[in-house]
Amino acid sequence: MKIKQTVGVIFGSRTGEHEVSVISAHQVMAALETAGYDLLPIYITKDGGWYAGSPLNNLSIYKTKGFNPGAVEGVYRVSLSPDTSIRTLLLHPDEKLGFLKKPPQLWADVFFPVMHGSFGEDGTLQGLLELADVPFAGPSTFSAALTMDKVRTKSVCLDVGIPVLHSVAFSRNSWKQNRNELVEHSEKLAAYPLFVKPVCLGSSIGVSRANNREELVQGIETALALDFQVMIEPALTDFIEINCSVMGPPEVASVCEQPVPRKDVLTFEDKYKRGGNSKQGPKLGGAKSSGSKSGGSQEGSAGMASLDRLIPAPISDELTKEVQRLAIEVFRAVRSSGVCRCDFMYDKKVQKLYFNEINPIPGSLAFYLWEASGIDFDQLVSKAVDIAFAEYSVRKETMYSFEANLLGS
């Protein structure tokens, strides 16, 4: 008889995408429950406090004004030690259990980060999990850190022949010192309009379209208030966005989708605050479709599943196969693992495809793309857990120390 495994789902954290993470995590937890796993929800607050306990698997408590996880019965403030000999979450020194009350045993067989943005999707959390020597789903420390940086990711992709739009990037300090020069340098990249993007943020936060110098400067200022680096790209004027999810290793690509933006920029509001009235999918709504607009918002918070999208994307079989091929190439180039989503832009005028960015832990885990590919959400998370164990086994084969006797007499 197979022993039931416990999955520690980690979500929240110090990021502008905190609420998106909470929504995605509850979708993942619903799917894991359906797949037969036990759950250990681990919630990280906006100021970095760690809390664990089964009552955290309840989306409604996060909607409470002034929500304090420490005040919820059965929830404990904890921390994860990087010491490999400690196989339990440690109670916070301020956590009062009461007289003779037995400390809870809070641990998991595998950890499942469902994080978006800083302090979770950027390699910081993955580094802690690798130090603790535990299996975890999703990208490694290296891959997460690399893919958080849009400029470095583009550079890696360009090196292996994946087409990308050329860009200009600079830091906050450089902007303070050479503002006029950097504006002129950006304008030499291409004629207006230009896209302005924070280098290390997701969910379209801080992204703007500049049609003139004034809007360019304003966009740069906004982006650099949110991130220490900014990237300027040419804005395609006649294009469609095509996204594809990849799972692995071994790598397999999903069907493609075409998001439907309201304006020239696919905004945070487009991604998370709109959608149709379908109520399919696990707990929070989903998106099942075939060549039509789709969405879902049961409780009004369906994460990326609430975005209007065309699934499968109404593009040729040839272009579909090319998107899927390049998505797998991107996945391999950045040494990703788990479930990602690769976003592309297709310039209809010149009929050319460009890689835009990779989301190493995509909103809603891109389950809507896999459902349309014949893989239900519970099957998807089960495969992600299996990949986590397989990747952990690969790491365990590496020898990290040997006897050198450099300190001996």
Q: Which residues pair with 253 in a beta bridge?
A: 246
pLDDT over 70 at 382, yes or no:
yes
The Cα–Cα gap between 137 and 141 comes to 11
Which stretch of 30-34, 52-56, 151-155, 284-288 has the lowest confidence by average pLDDT? 284-288
> pTM to 2 decimals?
0.87
The Cα–Cα gap between 302 and 274 comes to 9
Which CATH code fits 6-138?
3.40.50.20
pLDDT at 203: 60
The per-residue pLDDT for range 88-108, each reduced to its tens digit, is: 999 998 887 766 577 788 999
Amino acid at the residue 379: Q
Residue 295: pLDDT band with limits 50, 70, 90 = very low
pLDDT at 202: 66
Residues written for the chain: 409
pLDDT at 182: 97
pLDDT at 100: 53
Residue 403: pLDDT band with limits 50, 70, 90 = confident
The Cα–Cα gap between 140 and 157 comes to 18
Residue 237: pLDDT band with limits 50, 70, 90 = confident
pLDDT at 302: 57
* 148-163+238-394 against 168-234: fold identical: no
Beta strands at 6-12 and 38-44: parallel, antiparallel or unpaired: parallel
Assigned superfamily of 148-163+238-394: ATP-grasp fold, B domain (3.30.470.20)
pLDDT at 201: 78
The Cα–Cα gap between 250 and 38 comes to 26
Residue 258: pLDDT band with limits 50, 70, 90 = very high
pLDDT over 50 at 287, yes or no:
no
Residue pair 258/315 in contact by the 8 Å Cβ criterion: yes
pLDDT mean over 21-50: 97
pLDDT over 70 at 269, yes or no:
no
pLDDT at 200: 86
User: Residue 242 in 3-state DSSP?
Assistant: strand
pLDDT mean over 241-258: 98
Q: Where are the domains of the chain?
A: 6-138, 148-163+238-394, 168-234
- DSSP E strand boundaries for 70-212: 76-79, 90-91, 110-113, 168-171, 194-198, 208-210
The Cα–Cα gap between 172 and 130 comes to 31
Question: At the topology level of CATH, where does 168-234 sit?
Answer: Dna Ligase; domain 1 (3.30.1490)
pLDDT at 284: 43
